[in-house]
Amino acid sequence: MAQSRKDIVAWVGSHILPHEAAVRAWLRRWTSRDQDIDDVIQEAYCRLAAMDDVTHVTNGRAYMFQTTRNIVLEQVRRSKIVRIDNVTDIGSLSVLDEAPPMDQVVAGARELQRVEQLIEKLPLKCRQIFVLRRIHGVSQREIAQMLGVTQAVVEKQAARGLRLIMKGLEGDENLETSVGEVGEHSRERTRDR
């Protein structure tokens, strides 16, 4: 059951507001512009105000720091130019033990980038089917109808894409060659028909 706005406002006043000064002090290490700090704080309060229930929050200070940290990380990701001191300051904030260490976040981002590159190297039809099926969750039937192929082709191409990506993640240096050869064999079979 959702809490009343009055209860949420009272909770924010007693559990979040007392920690605003500490959050602002951390934000000053990230930026010296008061407007940026005000924007982050305002966004954090907007997110808190949008909540229907705050009973799950056991530590208001940690929740406010985590919310603010998430906002800052979103802003950094969206910005085209990132100052190197911003990245180190963000990494220094460890309010909650639940947040993964920054090196894990960076390693995860690199791994995701690697998977994206491997997906881009898949043959066109295989890539289309893999992305629709595995990333967007479109059913085999819908993909078959969209692309004018059988469901068996969709199943095989999705599995083939996954196999090639897994092979690439295992460090197979010949992935490009493997993908290229598979693509060539497919084109040869198509020509022979």
Kindly report, residue by residue over 20-36, the tens digit of the pLDDT.
888 888 888 766 677 78
pLDDT digits (tens, 9 = 90+) for 134-172: 888 888 899 999 999 999 999 999 899 888 888 888 875
Which one of 99, 118, 146 terminates a domain? Answer: 99
98 secondary structure, DSSP code: T
Based on the domain organization, do 68 and 149 belong to the same domain?
no
Which one of 99, 119, 142 terminates a domain? Answer: 99
d(CA 137, CA 117): 20
Based on the domain organization, do 181 and 120 belong to the same domain?
yes
Q: What is the pLDDT of residue 173?
A: 47
Residue-range definition of the domain harbouring residue 171: 103-192
Q: What is the pLDDT of residue 181?
A: 44
Q: What is the pLDDT of residue 97?
A: 47
Q: What is the pLDDT of residue 115?
A: 85
Phi and psi at 136, nearest 5°, equal -95, -10
Q: What is the pLDDT of residue 98?
A: 54
- CB 140 within 8 Å of CB 154: yes
Q: What is the pLDDT of residue 7?
A: 79
Q: What is the pLDDT of residue 180?
A: 46
Based on the domain organization, do 131 and 161 belong to the same domain?
yes
- Distance separating the N- and C-terminal Cα atoms of the chain: 62
Q: What is the pTM of this model?
A: 0.41
Which one of 46, 67, 99 terminates a domain? Answer: 99
Q: What is the pLDDT of residue 62?
A: 87
Based on the domain organization, do 11 and 55 belong to the same domain?
yes
Burial of residue 68 (CB within 10 Å: 0-12, 13-18, 19+) is: buried
Segments of the chain scoring below 70 in pLDDT: 1-2, 30-32, 79-101, 105, 172-193
Q: What is the pLDDT of residue 189?
A: 45
Q: Is the sign of the CA dihedral 178, 181, 185, 190 positive or negative?
A: positive
Can you give the C-alpha Rg of the chain in angstroms?
A: 24
Q: Which amino acid is at 148?
A: G
CATH number at residue 157: 1.10.10.10
Based on the domain organization, do 119 and 85 belong to the same domain?
no
Based on the domain organization, do 115 and 182 belong to the same domain?
yes
